[in-house]
């Protein structure tokens, strides 16, 4: 079976073939087809939609490469697109850097690249520039992907953590911990059955539905560290506190099962297609209704509020409040 | 001694500390300091300097991490900056994604980050957004870095391979193969002495000196695969051929020594601070003189010409022409 060799990363003929036969075919678009050392994007395509460039990057090292609901390629598009999109920008262009381990099956790479291309195309995103490195067997684990993304932020839209104030309300766009629990189940061989599937998705439609709603203040996609990590960032940046209601947290029963089994909290689990949103109290019901109209927002819920007392707290099912610390580490490495 | 642990990539407290105490301090700038999920760059800062966004990415996996003339951090800034700069854009903003191996010495990471920060600052580049992943021991080799870079291409400047035509002249901005020979010497323990040092440098000043010169057609920094790989790209994209003069190639004696010892050709060696430039014949002397005025262009030379007959050929010291094939692979993996 055909495998990646060191020659595929060497700048010689083998690399040109890999680029030509795999990447250029899968990602084909006029900007990429120029094959210069950089993509050249007309600035009027950015200024027509906003006044600031949103620019973000993430590397993806997830293990395993394929999982229910997605794979590293889909994740590499969704994750970076979402980091751009939470600014209010529509993510439009991605760069893509592969680090491949010598011996990687070509069929595995093809499956990943095909998935990236399909995810990007469905979200109106084009992959316009890239890079491929190959390292000797044992110097990396199969494949790592970095993507960087850009889009333009509409004029007048200033979503950000510093807008957050006491009295605001915190929502999430759906069930918590689906991605983390799926990877945990798969990797640790927990053998949990039921509806365990990564929520990996591009959130642009959900976010754009909120674009013109006054009172929306800050958005984050709650990935590594889960909603708890985002709540801590919101609290630290705004100088306020966050209080969450345990009974209000939307969690699938399969995810709750995995958490109970292992003594873990779904608030700390990674999501790959969920927003944490802070809005003015007066806008909360409108935002909730808008989220519910979207396929990706069916299980949106109001889960807490911004309070004066610093820190993050959770009110349990019996009304007892406890402080939620930010854990030193997440339960799982290589979750994304 | 303090080492990187899995917790440093987990989205919890340890990661926040690493970001706050190392990255935010070393790279500090107003855009990064916002600490949102994306940098927000005013578009007027781009439109003031051009009409197209230049966008490029590279991952860096070089082994060893430190070498005469540079290190992986310096390389990660220079390499991507140069890929943006050869469009005629001034590289301004970089993203930065780290993949760290559990157990990496914190002092090693600090040295790399400090070097990145210094290289960026010296070149007027700011690192505005980033990401950190940690993988378990053995899943990566110490540290890999991805950077993506942006800048704006001045209106009316259309350097590119498709401009190349028969009769044009090929120049290089300095001695060939310094980076490749340095890494080879270090890694293979060749024990060569003399002036072996990577040429790793940000080429913006050299490139901007050519910006207003009519007759400049296409620029590339000749990295992996060396000048030979660039010549093949120029030939393939333009539909012409390239003929090089062996006697005209600027090569340091230490590099020539390494090549003779191993039976390798400096034309295939990686550079990290050298341009290959195609210009109209009438502009060649002017371009050469401009390059010679720049510190990075002291050893610039005219090395060949664009001809009708397809392919890349080298005329040897005794006047014999031979075809230069693009090797299947480069002599060394992990050269950049």
Residue B234 token pair: 């120029």
What local confidence, expressed as pLDDT, does residue A58 receive?
A: 98
Domain range B6-153, CATH class: alpha beta
CA distances from A321 to A172, A231, A245, A318, B198 (A): 20, 16, 9, 9, 60
Chain B positions touching A144 (Cβ under 8 A) are 99, 140, 144
Q: Cβ-count burial of A34 within 10 angstroms (0-12 exposed, 13-18 middle, 19+ buried)?
A: middle
Of residues A328 and A77, which shows the higher confidence score?
A: A77
State how far residue B283 is from chain A, nearest Cα, in angstroms. Answer: 23
CB B47 within 8 A of CB B89: no
- The residues pairing with A177 across neighbouring beta strands, listed in sequence order, are none
Residue A75 token pair: 């994740």
Does B189 score more than 90 pLDDT? no
Which of the residues B14, B55, B63 would you substitute to probe the A interface, choosing the one with the greatest number of A C-beta atoms within 10 Å?
B55
For chain B, where do the domains classified as CATH 3.90.650.10 start and end?
A: 161-323
State how far residue A297 is from chain B, nearest Cα, in angstroms. Answer: 21
Tally of residues, chain A:
336
Chain A positions touching B334 (Cβ under 8 A) are 133, 135-136, 139
Give the span between the Cα atoms of A102 and B249, in whole angstroms: 34
Q: Cβ-count burial of A115 within 10 angstroms (0-12 exposed, 13-18 middle, 19+ buried)?
A: buried
Tell me whether residues A150 and B95 touch, CB distance under 8 A: no
Whether the CB of A311 is below 8 Å from some CB of chain B: the reply is no
Give the burial string for A154-174 (b: 16+ CB within 10 Å, else e).
beebebbbeebeeebbbbbbb
Give the span between the Cα atoms of A126 and A25, in whole angstroms: 13
Whether the CB of B156 is below 8 Å from some CB of chain A: the reply is no
User: Would you identify the CATH topology of the domain A161-323?
Assistant: Phosphoribosyl-aminoimidazole Synthetase; Chain A, domain 2 (3.90.650)
Chain A positions touching B140 (Cβ under 8 A) are 61, 139-141, 144
Q: Which of A184-188, A191-195, A243-247 has the lowest mean pLDDT?
A: A191-195
Interface predicted TM-score (ipTM): 0.97
Tell me whether residues B133 and A37 touch, CB distance under 8 A: no
Whether the CB of A139 is below 8 Å from some CB of chain B: the reply is yes
pLDDT in tens, A80-121: 999 999 999 999 999 999 999 999 999 999 999 999 999 999
Chain B positions touching A59 (Cβ under 8 A) are 97-99, 131, 133, 146
Give the span between the Cα atoms of A294 and A290, in whole angstroms: 7
Does B240 score more than 90 pLDDT? yes
pLDDT in tens, A19-48: 999 999 999 999 999 999 999 999 999 999
| Distance of alpha carbon A134 from the chain centroid | 26
What local confidence, expressed as pLDDT, does residue B330 receive?
A: 72
CA–CA–CA angle B180, B182, B184 (5° rounding)? 65
Tell me whether residues A57 and B133 touch, CB distance under 8 A: no
Which of the residues A146, A158, A179, A228 would you substitute to probe the B interface, choosing the one with the greatest number of B C-beta atoms within 10 Å?
A146
Instruction: Answer positive or negative: Cα dihedral of B134, B138, B143, B149.
Output: negative
Tell me whether residues B43 and A51 touch, CB distance under 8 A: yes
For chain B, where do the domains classified as CATH 3.30.1330.10 start and end?
A: 6-153
In three-state secondary structure terms, A5 is: coil
Does A11 score more than 90 pLDDT? no
- Using 50, 70 and 90 to split pLDDT, how confident is the model at A1? low
Pairing status of strand A301-307 against strand A169-172: antiparallel
For range B274-278, the mean pLDDT: 98
DSSP output for A257-302: HHHHHHT--GGGS--SS-EEEEE-GGGHHHHHHHHHHSGGGTT-EE
Please give the sequence-ordered ranges of beta strands (E in DSSP) within A173-286, or none if there are none: 216-221, 241-245, 275-279
For range B210-216, the mean pLDDT: 96
What local confidence, expressed as pLDDT, does residue A331 receive?
A: 67
Whether the CB of B234 is below 8 Å from some CB of chain A: the reply is no
Nearest CA to A172 out of A83, A278, A72, A265 is that of A278
> How many Cβ atoms from other residues are within 10 Å of residue A13's Cβ?
17
What local confidence, expressed as pLDDT, does residue A194 receive?
A: 77
What local confidence, expressed as pLDDT, does residue A10 receive?
A: 87
Locate the chain A residue with the closest alpha carbon to B331.
A10
Q: What percent of chain B has pLDDT over 90?
A: 91
Does B193 score more than 90 pLDDT? no
Give the span between the Cα atoms of B302 and B171, in whole angstroms: 4
What local confidence, expressed as pLDDT, does residue B331 receive?
A: 67
Whether the CB of A156 is below 8 Å from some CB of chain B: the reply is no
Question: Which uninterrupted H or E stretch holds B312?
Answer: strand B311-315
pLDDT in tens, A263-299: 889 999 999 999 999 999 999 999 999 999 999 999 9
What local confidence, expressed as pLDDT, does residue A190 receive?
A: 83
Task: Tell which A residues from 55 to 94 touch B, by Cβ distance under 8 Å.
Answer: 55-61, 63, 83-84, 86-87, 89, 93
Chain B positions touching A95 (Cβ under 8 A) are 55-57, 148
State how far residue A332 is from chain B, nearest Cα, in angstroms. Answer: 8
For range A43-54, the mean pLDDT: 97
- Using 50, 70 and 90 to split pLDDT, how confident is the model at B230? very high
- Using 50, 70 and 90 to split pLDDT, how confident is the model at B71? very high
pLDDT in tens, B95-141: 999 999 999 999 999 999 999 999 999 999 999 999 999 999 999 99
CB A190 within 8 A of CB A136: no
What average pLDDT does chain B have? 96
CB B76 within 8 A of CB B96: yes
Give the span between the Cα atoms of B240 and B262, in whole angstroms: 32
Give the span between the Cα atoms of B130 and B48, in whole angstroms: 25
């Amino acid at each position: 079976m055909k495998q990646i060799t060191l020659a595929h990363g060497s700048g010689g003929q083998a690399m040109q073939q890999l680029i030509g036969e795999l990447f250029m075919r899968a990602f084909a678009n006029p900007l990429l087809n120029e094959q210069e050392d950089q993509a050249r994007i007309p600035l009027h395509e950015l200024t027509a939609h906003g006044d600031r460039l949103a620019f973000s990057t993430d590397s993806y090292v997830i293990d395993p490469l394929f999982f229910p609901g997605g794979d590293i390629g889909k994740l590499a598009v969704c994750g970076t697109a979402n980091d751009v999109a939470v600014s209010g920008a529509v993510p439009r262009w991605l760069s893509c850097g592969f680090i491949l381990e010598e011996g990687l099956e070509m069929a595995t790479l093809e499956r990943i690249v095909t998935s990236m291309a399909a995810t990007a195309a469905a979200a109106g995103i084009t992959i316009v520039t890239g890079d491929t490195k190959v390292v000797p067997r044992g110097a990396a684990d199969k494949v790592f992907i970095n993507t960087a993304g850009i889009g333009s932020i509409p004029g007048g839209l200033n979503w950000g953590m510093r807008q957050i104030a006491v009295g605001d309300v915190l929502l999430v766009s759906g069930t918590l911990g689906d991605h983390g629990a799926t990877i945990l189940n798969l990797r640790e061989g927990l053998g949990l059955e039921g509806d365990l599937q990564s929520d990996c998705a591009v959130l642009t439609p959900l976010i754009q539905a909120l674009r013109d709603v006054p009172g929306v203040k800050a958005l984050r996609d709650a990935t590594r560290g889960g909603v708890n990590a985002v709540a801590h960032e919101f609290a630290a940046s705004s100088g306020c506190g966050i209080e969450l209601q345990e009974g209000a947290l939307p969690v699938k029963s399969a995810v709750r099962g995995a958490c109970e089994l292992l003594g873990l909290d779904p608030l700390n689990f990674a999501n790959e297609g969920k927003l944490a949103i802070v809005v003015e109290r007066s806008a909360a019901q409108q935002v909730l209704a808008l989220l519910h109209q979207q396929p990706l927002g069916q299980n949106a819920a109001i889960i807490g509020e911004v309070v004066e007392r610093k820190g993050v707290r959770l009110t349990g099912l019996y009304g007892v409040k406890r402080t939620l610390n930010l854990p030193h580490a997440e339960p799982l490495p290589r979750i994304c």
